[in-house]
Amino acid sequence: MSDAWIASGLSPMAAQLKGSSILVIAGQVRELIASGRDVCNLTIGDFNPSEFPVPTILRDGIKSALDDSQTNYPPSNGLPALREAVSAMYQRKLGIDIDPAHVTVCSGARPLLYACYRAVVSPGDKVVYAAPSWNNNHYASMLGANVVQIKVGPEDNFFPRADQFAEHLKDARLFVLNSPLNPSGTLIRPEVLKELCQSIVAENDRRKEAGEKPLFLLYDQIYWMLTLGDVPHADPIGVEPRMKDYAIYVDGISKAFAATGLRIGFGISPAPICKAMNRVLGHVGAWAPRPGQLGTIALLNNPEEMEDYLTWIRGAAKERLELIHQRMTALAADYPVRALEPEGAIYLSVELALTGYETGGKGDGPLISLNTPDDVRRYLLDAAGVAVVPFIAFGAGHAPDWYRLSVGSVSVAQLSAALDRIETAVRALRPAA
């Protein structure tokens, strides 16, 4: 039977939905590892538990819940005690008052992102986000939205300026931001976020008078507790209290507590949006497991242990990110290479403008010419045994020489050895004749 004929039965949405280019890179990494190569994988936004174990109080809370046979369905929008713990944590750490009834708990941040799109975006609605961006192109595609990608660059830490976003607010349904940003590891400046939020409030004042639908800000701050440097984390309600009616927060324990596999996400949104997202997720069945929720309650309700862990994990991530930054900065003396200062998350932005370089030939081994950014990525993988992700995979074709390096799955020793190999591989290059 013909696969093409079977595929003709797919829905238009499923037929045109693209897979992740990052997964293609992951497949190449697996092949090299299976062949016996020692590969330092800096592509995945995950954690090696031997390097980044979850907090003891979280682990013990889950174990205790299992021992107590807490294995039945939780409420579809999360245990009340967890929603209260999230509310209390936001008050304690961000200084904003959140009604627990406006908190949604589900199995990680991804379902929250999808539910937000489903709740507020109709086919043909305009969705605006800056590129590079994680997965917004796919969510917008699923909903049949009209997309505006704002091209941002390193000069603005990969965040949009007021003159870039202002023109797009008048007819948009959803504006999307992620800070600290995946893939860049940079933060939006509080004054920029405040200007955006004030513009959204003003636009919604106009829409309310005109009888038009509101504009919402989807604010993904899953990495906010991993803010590393002198730039403070900023959130919409914190910089503009009137955003409480228009901001939809996406958050969880996955990144700050190295708990990606535990699948505990939580979001905060205005009451009508929260109810709609809960209905969407209730039908999807994306409920966070009860034992994980109970362990998260124990974690969030113990500020001292929580802060001790955050101090440790931020230090461990910063040590690795600063190591990359130092080594890339040293290499920049001789090659078109640079790295942005680490500000948050587990990622560093590195520019490797090595297209037009080559190595080997004339008795020095095979000639290798780097003609595209993917050639550069593949050269690092083959010659140095180091896997990185180009910003092109995040929709930033305008920044083709930038790459994301992720440090959650490597030890300092592994990373240092990988950087040695990168330096050797880069220093083997010369400008093409």
Q: Could you write out the three-class secondary structure of 271-323?
A: HHHHHHHHHHHHHHCCCCCHHHHHHHHHHHCCHHHHHHHHHHHHHHHHHHHHH
363 pLDDT tier (thresholds 50, 70, 90): low
pLDDT of 333 > 80? The answer is: yes
Answer yes or no: CATH 1.10.3210.10 is held by domain 56-302. Answer: no
Please list the residues that pair with 106 across neighbouring strands.
265
Confidence at residue 130, expressed as pLDDT on a 0 to 100 scale:
96
Single-letter amino acid code for the residue at 5? W
Measure the CA dihedral 116/90/46/53, to 10°: -150
Q: What is the pLDDT of residue 169?
A: 95
The residues spanned by each domain of the chain are 3-52+308-428, 56-302
> Residue 1 pLDDT > 70, yes or no?
no
Report the share of the chain in percent with pLDDT over 90: 87
* Contact call for residues 405 and 381 (beta carbons, < 8 A): no
Spatial strand order of the sheet with 347-352 comes to: 337-339, 347-352, 402-406, 389-390
Residue-wise pLDDT tens digits, 248-295: 999 999 999 999 999 999 999 999 999 999 999 999 999 999 999 999
* CA neighbor of 307 nearest in space, from 249, 257, 378: 257
**In the predicted model, is pLDDT for residue 4 greater than 90?**
no
Predicted confidence at residue 199, as pLDDT, reads 97
Task: Write the DSSP string, 337-376.
Answer: EEEPPP-BTTEEEEEE--TTEEE--TTSSS-EEE-SHHHH
Q: Give the mean model confidence (pLDDT) for residues 308-334.
A: 97
State the virtual CA torsion across 135, 136, 139, 145 in degrees, nearest 10: -150
Q: What is the pLDDT of residues 23-63, one digit of tens each?
A: 778 788 888 888 888 889 999 899 999 999 999 999 999 99
Q: Which residue has the higher pLDDT, 84 or 13?
A: 84
Confidence of residue 361 (pLDDT cuts 50, 70, 90): low
**Tokens read off for 211:** 């009888």
Q: CA geometry: angle at 261 spanning 259 and 219, to 5°?
A: 65
Confidence tier at 20 by pLDDT (50, 70, 90): confident
Q: Give per-residue pLDDT as tens, 400-427.
A: 999 999 999 999 999 999 999 999 999 9
Would you call the peptide bond into 236 cis, given omega within 30 degrees of 0 as the criterion? no
Q: Is the pLDDT of residue 174 over 90?
A: yes
H/E segment holding residue 93: helix 80-94
Residue 364's pLDDT band, with cuts at 50, 70 and 90, is low
**pLDDT bucket at 367, cuts 50 / 70 / 90:** confident
Task: Measure Cα distances from 430 to 27, 49, 245, 257 in Å.
Answer: 29, 39, 56, 43
With 0-12 / 13-18 / 19 or more C-beta atoms within 10 angstroms meaning exposed / middle / buried, residue 220 is: buried
Would you tell me the crossing angle of helices 56-67 and 290-300 to the nearest 10 degrees?
A: 140
Q: Which of 15-24, 168-177, 178-187 has the lowest mean pLDDT?
A: 15-24
* φ, ψ at 173 (rounded to 5°): -100, -35
**Mean pLDDT score of the chain:** 94
Residue 236 in this model has a pLDDT that exceeds 80: yes
Which residues have CB under 8 Å from 35's CB, separation 6+? none
401 in Cβ contact with 310 (< 8 Å):
no
The C-alpha torsion from 17 through 379 and 357 to 334, rounded to 10°, is: 110
Fold (CATH) for 3-52+308-428: Aspartate Aminotransferase, domain 1 (3.90.1150)
pLDDT at 362 over 80: no
